[in-house]
Structure 1
């Protein structure tokens, strides 16, 4: 469902070939191919690495919280590049049950709640090529 919706909601991510491979309560994983996403010196373009990690905030929010009541948005994301990405990539992140409970209660009471996510982007060999720290917000619909 999320992969189909991505073509409509985030066309650039869809064009990059980003695929959501896991979207469960408190967990999100996405992949992006190397093919078509390289830069002038043969590694995955930095913007592609950023996108595959950043969009996990929306994926995890939609998989964890009721999308009929809430929607996610990104407030800030910092990225650190730690290695050369020369293969397909996998990005993943998670939220603890305690954090899920806090965010849901705060959003229900105040109409919105901030949460942070740390994502790790790895190459096919399992080497970390970038890490992100993002500030996201869950907002109540109609408020």
Structure 2
């Protein structure tokens, strides 16, 4: 089983609300995460993707990127704050992406090893099937050592 499949299986039990929305990790590697969510079942009263669904597909990237980039036996991720700006109506399935560069990954890992936790900022972009940006997020996450 590959990393993306393992994450999706884990999401079904650890974050059942995201799983019920149809949020799926589609790419996960050191420094990069992508997730999708379908329009079907996630519309609102005027036929676009519900704002909370857009928030969820973007927010989940902090966990995906942390698990793909750091030792899950030592660390777990959490979100501390997430700001979202909706830039266009979302009328199709969505894909969210975020990345961290290698220098930032090393900083996070070193700080978490030394202090038991490390804050990091993650910016994400949510796009529709045509590639139009429908939302952007700016999140403050934390990588925390188990037992802290």
Q: TM-score range by the shorter chain?
A: over 0.9
- Listed as ranges, the matches of 1:1-143 within 5 Å are 1-143=6-148
User: Partners in 1 of 2:133 and 2:43 — Cα distance?
Assistant: 17
> What is the count of residue pairs matched by the alignment?
143
- Structure 1 unaligned blocks of 5 or more: none
Q: Runs of 4 or more off by more than 3 Å in structure 1?
A: none
**CA displacement, residues 65-109 of structure 1 (integer Å, 9 cap, x when unaligned):** 000000000000000000000000000000100000000000000
User: Partners in 1 of 2:18 and 2:109 — Cα distance?
Assistant: 27
User: Partners in 2 of 1:87 and 1:120 — Cα distance?
Assistant: 15
- Structure 2 unaligned blocks of 5 or more: 1-5
Shift of 1:141: 1.1
User: Partners in 2 of 1:85 and 1:5 — Cα distance?
Assistant: 27
Task: Tell me the C-alpha RMSD between the 2 structures.
Answer: 0.5
Q: What is the TM-score normalised by the length of structure 1?
A: 0.99
User: Partners in 2 of 1:31 and 1:107 — Cα distance?
Assistant: 29
Q: Secondary structure at the match of 1:101?
A: helix
